[in-house]
Amino acid sequence: MSSSPIIRFKDVHKSFGSHNILKGLTFDVEKGRTLAIMGPSGTGKSVTLRHIVGLLQPDSGLVEVEGHDMAHIPQAEIAEMRTRMGFVFQSGALINWMTVADNLALPLRENTPLSEDEIARRVSEKLDWVHIADAAHKFPSELSGGMKKRVGLARALINDPDIILYDEPNAGLDPEIATAINRVICELTNNLSVTSIVVEHRIPCVKAVADEVIFLDEGRALLRDTPKNFFSSEHPRLVRFLGDQRDIPTTT
């Protein structure tokens, strides 16, 4: 028996004014799997992730998370579900007047009965994971873009979530840190109980973490395949998108 999907999009349409972004997007992700989403800038990758956390609702079609129709679920239940989801925002989205440690501790203080000692332990554990233990007492304005990005990742992981959504977790990071972050993401995505979606342009990262990749273009999933098949696909639109990053199939 195949397990039912944790995240399901069925014929999702979404417009902003006259701007049609999603035009019949369909895909699903089963428990413990990692889906990568690739596609041109402005195609709706971040918009797709925002539907999963209930920040946006479809104009038509179905967005289902853990069996809940996200368009018809009470706000209180969305809030409860969000405590089990981690969302690494593309922008970082930190609260500027709180230290890094307080930014990380906030969801635990608000949503859990954990003691301050346990909260401090979890905060330093996550800061260690992303290699910025020394930033705990800094304010976001004192951090570089790459450091903010890593704090955003640590904050998304603070609840040990069941579902993690990464919106370009590596953007703006130098190669050494990007590799370290990839390692963290790999460890998390290889955990069979965590379901993940990774929006990512870096092909080595997609190959390292994803079970499947979809190519989002013109508001639809044009292609869905394993990373191996995806990066050697002959689909003309994907060939154009990947350019010289594409794997040329060898004939030997």
42 binds ligand ATP (CB under 6 A): yes
Q: How far is the CB of 90 from Mg ion (least distance, A)?
A: 5
Question: Which is nearer to ligand ATP, 122 or 202 (by Cβ)?
Answer: 202
165 binds ligand ATP (CB under 6 A): no
Residue of the chain from 46, 111, 229, 232 that contacts Mg ion (CB under 5 A): 46
Residue of the chain from 20, 26, 46, 232 that contacts ligand ATP (CB under 6 A): 46
- Nearest Cα to Cα of residue 101 among 149, 146, 137: 137
Q: Is residue 62 a contact partner of residue 9, using CB atoms and an 8 Å limit?
A: yes
Residue with tokens 């003309």: 236
Choose the contact partner of 124 out of ligand ATP, Mg ion, none; CB within 5 to 8 A by kind: none
Largest pairwise CA distance in the chain: 61
Q: How far is the CB of 170 from ligand ATP (least distance, A)?
A: 13
Q: How far is the CB of 167 from ligand ATP (least distance, A)?
A: 7
Residue of the chain from 6, 36, 47, 209 that contacts ligand ATP (CB under 6 A): 47
Q: Where are the alpha helices (DSSP H) in 113-221?
A: 116-129, 145-157, 175-189, 203-209
Residues forming a β-bridge with 215: 38, 223
Its sign, for the CA torsion 130, 136, 139, 144, is negative
- Nearest Cα to Cα of residue 58 among 66, 48, 45: 48
Q: How far is the CB of 16 from ligand ATP (least distance, A)?
A: 3
Q: How far is the CB of 110 from ligand ATP (least distance, A)?
A: 25
Residues forming a β-bridge with 15: 20
26 binds ligand ATP (CB under 6 A): no
In 84-120, which positions are buried (b, 16+ CB within 10 angstroms) versus exposed (e)?
Answer: ebbbbbbebebeeeebbbebbbebbeeeeeeeeeebb
Choose the contact partner of 97 out of ligand ATP, Mg ion, none; CB within 5 to 8 A by kind: none
Using the contact rule CB under 6 A, the part of the chain among 3-11, 34-42, 123-131, 154-162 near ligand ATP is 34-42
Residues forming a β-bridge with 60: 13
Q: How far is the CB of 148 from Mg ion (least distance, A)?
A: 16
Using the contact rule CB under 5 A, the part of the chain among 4-12, 44-52, 98-106, 220-228 near Mg ion is 44-52
43 binds ligand ATP (CB under 6 A): yes
Residue with tokens 């989801």: 85
Q: Which residues bind Mg ion (CB under 5 A)?
A: 45-46
Q: Which residues bind ligand ATP (CB under 6 A)?
A: 16, 21, 39, 41-47, 90
